[in-house]
Amino acid sequence: MTFRLALLGVLLSVHISANPENDLDSLRNGLQFFQYKKIDVILTQFQYGEWYNSSISISFIDTISYYITSNDQDIFVSGNQIKTWNKKSNQLIIDTRLEEEEDVFALLTGNLKGVSLQDKRNENGFTSFGFLIQDFGLKGSLKVDQSNWHLRQLKIEYDDDNWVQLDVESWQILTGNVSFYEFGKNAEEIIDLNE
């Protein structure tokens, strides 16, 4: 009888650890680790035979706000409001996106609504998954640390000739005060597409 109870316990724990819902919860927690942090990322894009590489930083202010900096432009997203500052032209564009519109960076905040994980693999200290976001027809792969589920790599495949990959290089605690309303106020030209 004791042996059967122990065997039942082992089978139950195997079922729970293989449960995709638990994987989604672990992934959500691992991604939410980046809240109030700045991460440095290598962005690689392949689009119809052309390669593009860039170092960018993403600062996650909270669950709905993040700030992306690169050499050419900075982008601040807060909820459905977007500000894009082109550093070369010193132009700020203010826009609103649709309520249901999401992007890859929203996924990085831990927003896994509609995400399904598949093909889980453990390899050299990392866990890799394929993922699918049915509502947007997006698929790709991601790699997390096995111990804490912190993201190491995210790849989104639009089609065979068009994909984007983010590789996390480092992170640090976010310091300073970053305000959506103060962002870009010194731009020479401001274009508000909401007007």
Q: Whole-angstrom Cα distance, residue 152 to residue 41?
A: 9
Q: Which is higher by pLDDT, 5 or 180?
A: 180
pLDDT class of 84 with cuts at 50, 70, 90: very high
- Other beta carbons within 10 angstroms of residue 174's beta carbon come to 17
β-pairing verdict for 189-192 and 91-96: parallel
Rg (CA), the chain: 20
Q: Whole-angstrom Cα distance, residue 102 to residue 72?
A: 22
pLDDT digits (tens, 9 = 90+) for 87-131: 999 999 999 987 666 666 767 777 777 788 889 999 888 999 998
Q: Residue 82 in contact with residue 92, Cβ under 8 Å?
A: no
pLDDT of residue 141: 92
Q: pTM to 2 decimals?
A: 0.77
Terminal alpha carbon distance of the chain: 73
Q: Whole-angstrom Cα distance, residue 169 to residue 55?
A: 9
Residue-wise DSSP of 132-166: EEGGGTEEEEEEEETTT--EEEEEEEEETTEEEEE
Q: Which of helix, strand or coil describes residue 105?
A: helix
* Average pLDDT score over residue span 152-169: 91
Q: Whole-angstrom Cα distance, residue 104 to residue 124?
A: 26
Q: Residue 83 in contact with residue 180, Cβ under 8 Å?
A: yes
pLDDT digits (tens, 9 = 90+) for 11-56: 333 333 344 568 888 888 888 888 889 999 999 999 988 999 999 9
Q: Which of helix, strand or coil describes residue 37?
A: strand
**Mean pLDDT of the chain, nearest integer:** 82
